[in-house]
Amino acid sequence: MALSSGGWGKPPVPAPSPSVHSGPELANCNTVLMSVRVSVCHSGIRPLCLPGASDEALRLQLSMDPSKSGEFRLALRDISGSGRSVFIAEFDLRSVQYEIKSPCLHEMRLATPPHDCIRFNFRCDLEAEQWATVVMSSLREAHRVAVNSSPHPMDDQQQHAAAALEQRSTASLPLTEELCLELARAIEAGDSQGAAQHASALARQKAVLTIQLSEKSYAEGEISLSVAVEDISSSCCVTVKVFPHMTVAALKQQVFLEYGFHPRVQRWVIGQCLCTEPRSLASYGVQRDGDTAYLYLVSARHARLTRQLFQQDQEGAHLTPPPSNGPLSQDWRGYSTLPSRLSRNTQGSTGSGAERLGMSEIRDALNLETLQLNDKPDKPSKASKTQTEWACPSCTFINKPTRPGCEICSTARPDSRKHSRIQQEKGRREEEGEISALIS
């Protein structure tokens, strides 16, 4: 007698051919998916192996019927006889529970009486891993077809058995990864039922996942992002090359590498939204050249950034690959060429004859040394008591105290007392205008 799917049946008549395609199922043109050498430990009512069969002669075989969707057969063959291949046992894959106990030890248990348990020991780790991938994929396909073709919904007991099978069938890390790939394929194909099954299996394992869109979902190619950079006292405009699929975290790291602004002091605003690190630039509307973003730099003290931490992160950043999230074929390069410094007016535009600022000018314009590295309150210097920055009366740009004329429009520096009166008068008029607008 031979053990069949769910019970004892008549043993198949061995074929006289020495070919591995012997047996009744293979006579129906079943396709053999994989066959591996195993040794067997069986705990059941009757022994499986034929008398005289050695471990070296046993092969575990998985086959399918191409004409029947979801029809998989798991068979144990004995090839010890000269010129013969004898099927010892055969099982319908839908009636078994398969579990990975260790890389080289698998366990199969019948889901129906007599509930025999068979353990398979594999000789080779690589063979065992390949077999596990094939048999688990086949198991999930067999159960998916069985659920879809069933005229009646499963009762609670069947659902519990299916859940237990699914949980046992995905016990190892390689198979969990395979589940993730199948989940992605099911979602891409629009198979909501298959996706739900794979997601349910992953949820039962409490698998920690990172789910994000593929790069194919975004606009292709590198684009130029116009970034308005501001700190508490000054501003400038920077052009940064990015990819739409880049995350905000990757953009922060790129700016850190190119300009030296630590990610902790960066606050990005795109489309009137304060950006969060896990989201992509495309999710905030960055799709084409010339799209605008705003980078506000907070103080190192506010960001709890010490000099030691800054130096450590800076050294580590130069040792790691560039965080552009772009194709590996793209050349990594810095972009330190900038358009003119932003004016303080509300238009935020720059002239056509704008000068280009290098790294030293950026650091000077945005007070980088004070911004990034001071972990103690700033001490007022003697120069700050006698010299202060001054605002241009024409374009309102804030100039350095040592400049005799405006850096943007070349307007002469006004007399400090006269300028103070002008500013007071200007403020009074603006205040009166706001009050009049409210009244009207």
CATH of the domain at 224: 3.10.20.90
Domain end (from 135, 151, 167): 151
DSSP 280-347: BSGGGT--STT-EEEEEE--TTTTT--HHHHHHHHHHHHHSPP---S-TTSPP-----B-PPPPSSSS
pTM of the model: 0.38
pLDDT in the model for residue 24? 43
pLDDT means per 10 residues in the chain (440 residues)? 36 39 47 86 59 65 83 83 73 84 84 80 86 85 74 56 52 74 87 85 82 76 89 84 90 89 91 88 89 89 85 76 44 36 38 41 50 44 53 80 77 70 64 57
Joined tokens for residue 398: 């804030």
343 and 391 inside one domain: no
303 and 341 inside one domain: yes
Domain end (from 112, 134, 151): 151
Q: Which amino acid is at 96?
A: V
Beta carbons of 91 and 138 less than 8 angstroms apart? no
Determine the structural domain holding residue 57 and report its residue range: 2-151
326 and 415 inside one domain: no
pLDDT in the model for residue 372? 43
Domain-embedded: residue 169:
no
Domain-embedded: residue 213:
no
Domain-embedded: residue 377:
no
Q: What pLDDT, in 10s, does the model give residues 65-124?
A: 877 777 888 888 887 666 567 878 888 888 888 888 888 888 888 877 777 888 888 888
Domain-embedded: residue 186:
no
357 and 237 inside one domain: yes
Beta carbons of 5 and 108 less than 8 angstroms apart? no
Domain-embedded: residue 336:
yes
346 and 326 inside one domain: yes
Domain-embedded: residue 349:
yes
What pairing do the DSSP bridges indicate for beta strands 105-110 and 117-122? antiparallel
Q: Which amino acid is at 259?
A: Y
295 and 266 inside one domain: yes
Beta carbons of 45 and 134 less than 8 angstroms apart? no
86-99 CB burial, b ≥16 within 10 A, e <16 = bbbbbbbbbebbbb
132 and 61 inside one domain: yes
72 and 49 inside one domain: yes
> How many domains does the chain divide into?
3
114 and 67 inside one domain: yes
356-377 CB burial, b ≥16 within 10 A, e <16 = ebeeeebbebbbbeebbbbeee
327 and 407 inside one domain: no
User: Quick one: DSSP state of residue 5?
Assistant: T
Domain-embedded: residue 60:
yes
> In the chain, count of helices (H) and strands (E)?
11, 16
**Residue among 255, 245, 252 nearest 280 (CA):** 245
| Separation of alpha carbons 267 and 274, rounded Å | 7
Residue with tokens 């609670």: 156
Q: What pLDDT, in 10s, does the model give residues 242-262?
A: 998 888 999 999 998 888 889
pLDDT in the model for residue 293? 92
121 and 14 inside one domain: yes
Domain-embedded: residue 179:
no
| Separation of alpha carbons 120 and 132, rounded Å | 12
343 and 405 inside one domain: no
